[in-house]
Structures are given as structure tokens and as C-alpha cells.
Amino acid sequence: MAPSLEEPTQTLLPSSRDFSLPLKGRSVRHYEPGRTHVDDYDDYEHDHLKPRFPDLHWEPLTEIPYHDRGLHGHPEFRHLLAAATDIRDYTPKIGTELSGIRLAQLSDAQKDDLARLIAVRGVVFFRDQTDLDIDAQRELGQYFGKLHKHATTSVPRQPGLEDVHVVYTDEKSKDQRAMFTPTFLWHSDVTYEIQPPSYTSLKLLSGPPRGGGGDTLWSSQYAAYDALSPGMQKYLQGLTALHSAEIQAEGSRASGRPVRRDPIVTEHPLVRTHPVTGWKSLFFNTGFVTKIVGIPRTESDAIIRYLNEIIATTQEMHVRFSWQKNDVAFWDNRVCNHSASYGFAPHRRHAVRVACHAERPVFDPAGTSQEAELNERYGLPAVNKDGSGQSNYND
């Protein structure tokens, strides 16, 4: 167990939910750089949602019908925004935060707008969703499609929640930073499935206070596709990639944990078209893609390294979210990669994820570019991709 960094005296800092400037006359009376208050979980309200690994065996998944609710959403999200008190984008490419919305109380029209907004913006954030308990979170997920059941990761202790994925690190957990390269942590969930998830919600039940770490990052695969040269776009559009569940299955077996569904390898297009937006995106992540089909291994490995560098290092296609208790992130797994971040010990970090199956990935050559469409809509110049000329970099 890591030694506690908690002092017996309480720090006199603003509430973790106080994002405003200090009130007149109030001052900071104590500060320790890089250190935040550590909560006590002796009487933990979410014990029933702690992780377990049931020894079950499920049959292979088969293809099921899927209809994207975002197709019914208003183009300007009017039903959803009518209940909002504020909306702001984190970056032009990805990430939006909505205030005033209670996810547990949405009408069907608002849910459809939400799906459309997530499809457009990649990931949408909601603060302090106290009334979205696990039953409400599952009910909302089921509105968008059949819930996915993960073959290897943990599920809640409470029976009957095998379609909920548990994220859990506590005070006794080992630091795993040395086990992965930072770029490998970028992934899209379970892309080896024949119908990988679309709309995915993650709710933080407990976590580090503000400034304590544990942020999550998302990367837009619309923007990753748009970052490519026209020649590279055309080349990749004709290729497929192998997505494998073997690494996850091997890791579970090595840890003595059950594999509830036999691992599979599935071939998907390297570029896909979104059914709601019509935009093309990469469909790639180093967590599960093992090879690009139909080309030499050397060429495949080089393209995998190249695409991974674009996804992991192109800052304008990233958004970073600092969590607080009861916050929810809702993203479209088809068009986003995401990555956890380490460095939040000795804090507990506990979250529950619900995701629904989407359509089988499809590439439609009639699809369009997010960047080109929005540049035309807003009168912005086309992006120069020829790499010529000379310029200083931005600070």
C-alpha cells in the first residue's frame, strides 16, 4: 500500500466545485505544491459497483440490427439546447461541455439531439450528474442500442450488471505507468468486435479532487483523417486492418482472470464514414490494430507508426477533461480515440462505463470531410497540406 500523503490538519482551500474567482476578502491560507486532499472511503457508498471478474462464458457475438438515433436529432440540437443554461466547445475540432442538462431526465427528442451532438463533436461533457445512477445510465445507453458486454474487464459486484464496465484504481493499486508506452494507451474501445460501440458514457463515482490528476484525453478521428494529404487519404481508403482481442485475452489469462468470450480477430476498413454526419474518419488505434491487410509487413508497420503519431501528438485534435465526482463524459467510440492519464496516486478513481453496439464499420466513398465542410460553412480558407514554404512555429 502506498503511504498516505494526508496530513491530520485540513487545508482551507475552496470547494472542488468552486471554479470561480475567490470572493472579495477571502485568501488562500495554505498551499502545498502538487498535493491535494486524500478522501477517506471507510463507509463507501459505491461498494456495490466495485469490480469483480465473474467466471462466465458467453457465445460469440453475431450481427444485430442497428439504427442510429442521431439521424432523428435536430440539425441545430434545439430540443436539447432548450434545457441548457450554457454550452461551450473546448476546441474547434472536438469536445463540448453542456450545463443545465440532467441526463436522467431527457425526453426522447432530447436524447436524439444528444446523439447527434456527440456524433458531431466527438465527446460531450456534463458536470455533477448526481441523479444518473447506474440504472438510469444503463437505461439511457439502451435507448441508443444494445449494450455491449466486455469479455475480459471487470463488472460491478451487484449481479445483473454484466453490461457495465468498471474502471477502478484505489490506494492499494500498483503504479502501471512502466507497463505501457504513452502512445499505446490511445485506443478506441473493443474495435475487434464485429459491431464496435458508438455512444459511450463514463461516469466518475469517486476520484481525485481538482488538481489531483486522473484526467482523460480524447482525440478526433475525423481530424486525424483530415490531417492526411489527399494522396494518403485516397490510399488508406482502399485498405482494411485487423483488430485483435488476443492481447486483452492473454492479459486476463496471465492474471488468472476468466475470459468470458473467446477472442476474435476482425477486419475493418481503415477509413469509415459516419452514418449521421456523413464525414469520413480514420478507424484506427494501436491498442487493437495488429496489421494492415494486403500490403507488406514493413509497409504495414510504417503506416501504423505514422497514424499513431498523428493521433497521439497532434494537439489540435485533442481535448483533455479534468473530472470531478459525478461528472459524465459521453463520446462516440466510432470517431474518437481516448487515453487515460496516470499520476493521480494515492487517490481512488472509480467510474462506470456503458456502451452500445453500433453498425458494422463501412466506408462510403460519397462521404465528406469535416474540415472541408466546416471551412466552407464558415468561410475559412482551405488548409495548406503541401508542406512548402518557410514559417516559424507557434508558441
Just list the catalytic residues. 187, 189, 338, 353
- For the record, the C-alpha cell of 376 comes out as 466552407
